[in-house]
Structure 1
Amino acid sequence: MDRQRIIRFSAVTALTLAALFTTLALLQHLLVPALVWWSPQLETSFYDLGFFGAYRAQSYVSFNLTSPQASILQWEDSCDNGYIFLDPSGKAPKHPGPLILDAKGNLVWTSDQFKTTTNLKLQRYQGADYLTFWSGKKAQTMGTGAYYMMDSNYTVVRKVDAVGEALHGDLHEFKITKDDTALLTVYNLTNADLTGMGWFRTDHGWITDSIFQEVDIATGALLFEWKATDHFRAEGSYMTNPLGGYYAGNPFDFFHINSVEKDAHGNYLISSRHFHTVMCIDGQTGDVLWQLGGRSTDFRDLSQGKASDFSWQHDARWLSEEDGLLSLFDNGVAWPHVDVPYSEGRIIHIDVTNRTATLLHSYRSLASPRSSSQGSVQPISGAHGEDHIFVGWGSSAAYSEHAMDGQLLCETHFAAAVSFWWERVKSYRAFKASAWSATPAAWDPSAKIEGSKLFVSWNGATDVAFWELQGCEAAEGEEGGTGEFHALDITEKHAFEESFSLPTGAASMSRYRVAALDRDHAIIRHSNVAVPPPSSRYMIFLITGNLAAVCVAAVVGYWVLRRRAWHVDWKQYTVDRSKYQKLW
């Protein structure tokens, strides 16, 4: 290929790419908004295709943090109750951290006080509800940190740690039992015999041991501890890591515990992601009582393998011990392992006496994502008291609500579905609670004026039903002022942030504030006082006055300089060009 043809080919390629990018830009910024304006129902499709970006964030005037601008793909009124608990993380969110939304995806509370959190949910301790979560340093698929309990004022009242030298709480589990104890997971670097794995591994290899503990919350005392290395060997793992186990910097995570639950008999139900197994642990001896799934399942599958063929699963729970009902999130994927076309939630019936297992129900997403990690399944009550299943899709930024039989009722995405594979944003689990009543203790409602409007919000407050705009003409001590605020307007609270149009002219005030009202119109708390900026007439007068002052000062200054003969003889700096000749 000669030089001319190379230049021509390069030019055509560059022009083609430029035309493509120009077309996409026009499509995104002109055509798509026009189509959405003309047909609003198209917005969800464009959202999932990524035309609004991989992650669309909602910003506020009166609040300095953002929240995901969610897209509801399917909706049914029986989902319209309660609160959603998430922990958005990944590269897309500006601030990772705990997040509470209402049923429609509107922000209720978020915080940047904790850099990374997981497992935010509502739990009961000593008869009261607490927000609980893990926070610490996340390293790939595990973490080192502690567990926090917040009361209904968003005040951290307890911090729970793992017990043992150099042991730290892991991000996967913090479960409060009916005995007011805590179940937590710990990942610990240790040595193990890895000769059974081959590839020149030694009897002094390096692994990440999976541990769970039961800890007394009030005293911090260790009540029970179980280690996977006491019962299982690394060669039984389904996980492959050709470089893992040779040195401490790259240990082999052979077991990967990710959920723990205590049953009525004092035994523990745990999930091992890398053994593809849900197992029951004796609460006295630590022995494995039975295993469902994996290489050593103890159950005969009556559903052609569908009750026990789950893999890379999360969040194994008892739905009913008496009826033998288990729930779990079947990922089916752990890159580079891909075992299924899509992830799903499952409810499985097991007969421990006869050792049989039957798949009862499965739950799928509209997007049919392959969630390579994380995920949860939770039984909840619908808006009318019916039994629902709430599914968090883990590494895929979505949550959904289903009827018990598997019918999809509602689904919400908090990132574009086209970006699920890239995991730009994700939430380890997603939970829903029918009720949460909270009033922040450390901060008041926030009011801010922008233009001719006043915006107001109150991060975390759940009992605000109305906002009342109040104003006063002048502060106490100012001329003609008493400092008393009077009610000017009232609006019902629908979203996280509401706004008021400020009165103008003679009706305008020198100061404004907003009162948060409950359903009975009783005042809960007042916002800060917001002072409107000077009016446009005043600004014009101010600018004109300043310009006039500058002109007067310039004239006076020039006159003074002239009077005192302070002038410059510019002739002394004139260049005599006759001394120079033009060079040719």
Structure 2
Amino acid sequence: MRRHFVFCVVALNWSWVSSFTEAEVDDDGALAALEGSGRQFGRQFGPFEYIHPRLDAQLVSPLTTIAVRQGSLIKAESIQGKIKVHGSKSGNVQGEIVLAADGQTVIFRGNKPFKLGESVQVSVLGGLKTAAGFAGGLQWRFTVRESLPFSTDPLSKREKLQEQRRKIRPVGKSYVLDPPSVPDDAKSGMMDDYFIPRGVREGSNHTMMRGTFGFKNGFELMNTFPVAKYLQRNYKTIPPYFPRIRMSVPAKEGVQEGYVFFTNRRGPTNQREFEREHPWLMMLDNEGDIVFFTEVPGMYDSRGNLIVTDAKMLSFDAALFDHRFKKVKTFTEPHGYKKDGHDFKIDKDGGAIMMHEDTQYMRHKGRTVRINAAVFTEQDKYGNPVFEWRMWDYMTVDEMLQFGMLNDQGDVAHPNGISRSPDGNHVYSLRHMGVMKVNRRTGDVMWRLGGHHGFSDFKFVNEPRPFAFQHFAHEIKNGNILMFDNHVNHDGEVARAVEYQLDHKAKTATKVWEYTHGNQIYSLANGSVQRLSNGNTAICWGGMGVGPDMQGDWSAPFYTEVKPNGEVVMEMYFEDGQNSHSAHKYTRDQWWAEPHWPPALVLDSSNKDKIPRIHFSWNGATNVAKWLVYQGENGPPKRLTKTIDRKQFEHFVKVERARQVCEHYQVVAVDSNGKRLKASAVVKSYACKKNQ
């Protein structure tokens, strides 16, 4: 007979924390500690490398989950009953215990939110089984905030969502949390067919604001730039108010093959009023021809990145789309936070990392200040929160105000970028502070770069003007830090892309590459930079169409591709001065698509000769090699009249008898192997309509 006892060892140098060890005692009374049990020295949280909320954490969301990660794979059958939670107001808290998709993180989700202001005690009992044996236990406390963090989303509304609470279901030997079902939306914000024109947007009055401070306004040269290919061809299957794009530098030798992904964003006439008409998602090829477009509904934030994930899926806002442009899933914000629209990433394993701002009013030196503290979260492919980094846990209010920028909105940090580094950790971009790297397993800050007032761990050795107000800072494959440096409100105010090499022993940051576009571009906000597979760098200059004096319209390229030596091999502008929050290029191997909607086919005679034509395209399709054109007296037509090699987004065929003879038209897309992909709808000639 073997009996189990739990032994408690109090760690005196911790603030109210205990570490538990499970041991077995034989009948003869000999104590036999299991292998792998007990406190593992060198770890911050007893036997665990990560706990959430942190030890003695304050201002914790009442909707938080509780998580521990031991660092080894855990047997799913050993987790039940191992986490006990007690609130000073809630009493014993009932909930569910699940094992996340990584097989290492154990999560407790309470059935109800915690009470505001209560102290919560967490007890993780020994006995979580790993391959090495049994992990020890741990006990700690945290405190729930006194007031709600949701200025626009009250707790009562969140409580209603508890009715849709995730359900436990087994997956193999693990238990996962199913996220609440999302109503099926076949369109998913993506178009089903060509757009029906809804009227042309009234022309903007572009004040020709001359460049100041040495800056160059793109409007001064816009009429000298050739229009993009789709404008040269006078396409009929796109709406008349589709954005007009100019190729200031048509693609040259050495350009990276692939497609440019971007959105459009109209900037402010002042810092508070935004004009956002007709937000689009777009893809263009190197010739400036359309690959894909859709006008996004108002529910989406056009600032969000349109990107291809590591798993070669399409991501926008907080949604994931497949190669047919069907929505696979939508990620929900954990712990009651609101997602920040600046950035969102989906990993190749299907998990997601996102940013938030947690607003609190704090007393500081005799006055009340508003602080929007940055929060970064990661969830697995099932929606389990497996990591959270809160600024409250790593900076005091004094440090936040010292490192950041205090304004009426409390925007001390302004998080605007999140990414996973090549070694699996996180890199965060804080516009008003700098850049930091965080250990994804433990939450520890590994280093901080740039900023001012003592924020940086590194000294710049060859940089007379360190970066400021940056966007899209991330670690690239060689370990260097690449970013878009807006550099507003600082000397020079010249925007650029810049790359730094960090020496972690000497604590120095060395500039190893930059591109400034001749010191001619001003960028108030937004922007991105991407190192391409052929060594080129893709730069979005952002700026939102606003110039240095915040008056008139201002134009900067939304996409510039440069070689390592600074030679521009491709560049594009929005004709009306819009820009993109970010722009990225992906190769044909990274992105291909066969949309779930059919090809578009329209009959039109608005050409200069007034000859009827059928125009056809397949928005989003990348694998069309040929078009089969069918005509006939009845529909669907059976007579193949033409086979056309696909050479551009849209093609047309003259149908000169369309006014005299009732005919039916249809086109079929064919791939390079001769496979028929999808047929368009059948369109009737003008004569058919007259005879009806």
Greater radius of gyration (CA): 1
Deviation at 1:507, TM superposition (A): 10
**Cα deviation, residue 524, structure 1:** 1.5
Deviations 1:331-361 (A, max 9, x none): 001xxx2533420101111111221211111
Question: Higher mean Cα deviation, 501-510 or 232-241?
Answer: 501-510
Which protein is richer in helix relative to its size? 1
For residues 277-315 of structure 1, the C-alpha deviation after alignment (integer angstroms, 9 at most, x for no partner) is 111223344333322112222223221435xx1000011
Correspondence for 1:70 among 236, 245, 250: 245
Aligned to 1:355: 507
Deviation, 1:178, is 5.0
Query: Contact conserved, 2:226 with 2:246, CA < 8 A, in 1?
Result: no
> How far is 1:69 from its partner?
2.4
- Matched to 2:307, the amino acid is K
Query: SS in structure 1 opposite 2:598?
Result: coil
Matched residue, 2:425: 267
TM-score by length of 1: 0.68
1:223 paired residue number? 386
Q: Is the 8 A contact 1:80 1:104 kept in 2?
A: no
SS at match of 1:312: coil
Structure 2 counterpart of 1:479: none
Contact residue 279 and residue 296 of structure 2 kept, 8 A: no
Partner residue, 1:511: 664
For 2:375 and 2:233, locate their aligned partners in 1 and report how far apart those are by CA, in whole Å.
39
- Counterpart of 1:448 (choices 581, 594, 602) is 602
Match of 2:341 among 151, 171, 176: 171
1:214 maps to 2:385: no
Which residue of 107, 121, 135 corresponds with 2:307? 121
SS of the counterpart of 1:230?
helix
Q: Aligned pair in 2 of structure 1 residues 103, 505: CA closer, same or farther (>3 Å)?
A: closer
Partner of 2:25: none
Cα distance, 1:463 vs structure 2: 1.1
The code of the aligned residue for 1:85 comes to F
Which AA in structure 1 matches 2:429?
Answer: S
Q: How many residues align?
A: 438
Match of 2:288 among 100, 105, 129: 105
User: Following superposition of structure 1 onto structure 2, how do residues 68-217 of structure 1 map, counting pairs within 5 Å?
Assistant: 68-74=243-249, 75-79=251-255, 81-90=257-266, 94-115=277-298, 116-117=301-302, 118-125=304-311, 129-134=312-317, 147-165=318-336, 167-177=337-347, 179-195=349-365, 202=367, 204-216=368-380
- Look up the SS of the partner of 1:534 in the other structure: helix
Cα offsets for 1:146-171 (capped at 9, x unmatched): x0000001000111122012x12211
Contact 2:658 2:685 survives alignment (8 Å): no
Q: Is this contact kept in 1: 2:527–2:542, CA < 8 A? A: yes
Q: Deviations over 1:204-259 (max 9, x none)?
A: 4222221111111x221111111223333342245353xx1xxxxxx310001111
SS in 1 for 2:280: coil
How far is the alpha carbon of 1:525 from its aligned partner? 1.3
- Taking only aligned residues, the RMSD between alpha carbons, in angstroms, comes to 3.3
- Residue 97 of structure 2 corresponds to none
Question: Which structure 1 segments of 5+ residues have no match?
Answer: 1-24, 29-42, 135-146, 196-200, 245-250, 420-424, 476-482, 543-584
Contact kept, 8 Å, 1:63 with 1:457, in 2: the verdict is: no
Distance in 2 (CA, whole Å) between partners of 1:256 and 1:506 is 61
For residues 57 and 313 of structure 1, what CA distance do their matches in structure 2 show? 36
**1:236 is aligned to 2:406:** no
The structure-2 alpha-carbon separation of the partners of 1:345 and 1:229, relative to structure 1 and needing over 3 Å to count, comes to same
**Given residue 260 of structure 1, which amino acid in structure 2 is its aligned partner?**
I
Q: How does 1:432-581 map to 2 (within 5 A)?
A: 432-435=585-588, 436-441=591-596, 443-451=597-605, 452-475=612-635, 484-504=637-657, 510-534=663-687
1:176 Cα deviation from its structure 2 partner: 2.6
Tell me what 1:302 maps to: 461
* 1:426 match: secondary structure: coil
Distance in 2, matches of 1:506 and 1:59, equals 22
CA distance in 2, matches of 1:347, 1:506: 62
Q: Which residue of structure 1 aligns with residue 541 of structure 2?
A: 393
Structure 1 residue 120: deviation in Å? Answer: 0.5
Structure 2 counterpart of 1:154, one-letter code: F
Alignment counterpart, residue 318 of structure 1, candidates 455, 462, 475: 475
Q: 1:93 to 1:462 in 2, by over 3 A?
A: farther
Q: TM-score, normalised by structure 2?
A: 0.58
